Amino acid sequence: MQKFDRLSGSLCRLSENSGASNHRKYIAPMNVQKQRGFTLYELLITLLVIGVVLTLGVPNLSDFTRNSRITATANDLHSSFLLGRSEAARAKTNITICASASPASAAAACDGASFNDGWIIFVDLNGDINRAGTGENVLRSHGPVDDTLAITTGNGATYFSFAANGLGRGNVDGPSFSTAMICDERGHQISAGGSSAARRLVVTPIGRSTVIRDYALIDAAGGCP
């Protein structure tokens, strides 16, 4: 194959491969690009998998949230009794835990209708279950419990008082705290691990406290009100 060279005025011989190479240079940019993304079939399968995961996962997540909430409240109340007992023995003075309608206030007092309102742990110098006067400082306070929870104490008790030796003082001003049921909308039913969805706090007359979550024990005590 020959081609006329305008600069030299002569004919140049070209190989067949040379023409083919030049031809490919123009065809290469026209290559079709591969499509990227989901086909309709793949999209439907993906949506099906997501639906199954949500169906199984959302109820479990909801139970996990409720279990965490009720456990945290039970532990907060339990730790308040542990603090009251240890502080009474350490400071050699009366320490009282009581329901309070204004636990975060500087003038917080034992004026709560129940522990749902919140509670305080304070130095009860004269042991009258009434925070007033110099030196009766609040050691810890807890705000109202979540609206989905309810704390129900035995005999409607709203206080427990420790003597200077760290032991319970018994009934000082009405019935003293002995038990509390902590429940949510599920009530007393079997939850994760075979435990009850509710919690029961038991405080002995000497002031030793325990949180119970065993289904059979809570059921024997009557469950949630």
Q: Is 35 left (phi over 0), alpha (psi -120 to 50) or beta?
A: beta
148-173 confidence digits (pLDDT tens):
999 999 999 999 999 999 999 999 99
Asked if residue 139 has pLDDT above 70, the reply is yes
Token pair in block for residue 190: 């079997």
Q: Is 174 left (phi over 0), alpha (psi -120 to 50) or beta?
A: left
Asked if residue 4 has pLDDT above 70, the reply is no
| 129-145 average pLDDT score | 95
**Does residue 156 or residue 29 have the better pLDDT?**
156
Asked if residue 145 has pLDDT above 90, the reply is yes
Return d(Cα 225, Cα 222) in angstroms, integer.
Answer: 8
Least confident of 19-28, 112-121, 179-188: 19-28
Token pair in block for residue 20: 């083919």
| pLDDT, mean over the chain | 86
Q: Which domains, ranges and CATH numbers included, belong to the chain?
A: 64-220 (3.55.40.10)
Asked if residue 117 has pLDDT above 70, the reply is yes
pTM of the model: 0.74
What pLDDT does residue 40 have? Answer: 76
**Biggest alpha carbon–alpha carbon distance for the chain:** 125
Percent of the chain with pLDDT over 90: 68
CA-nearest of 84, 100, 91 to 203 is 84
Cβ within 8 Å of residue 83, ≥6 positions away: 121, 139, 140
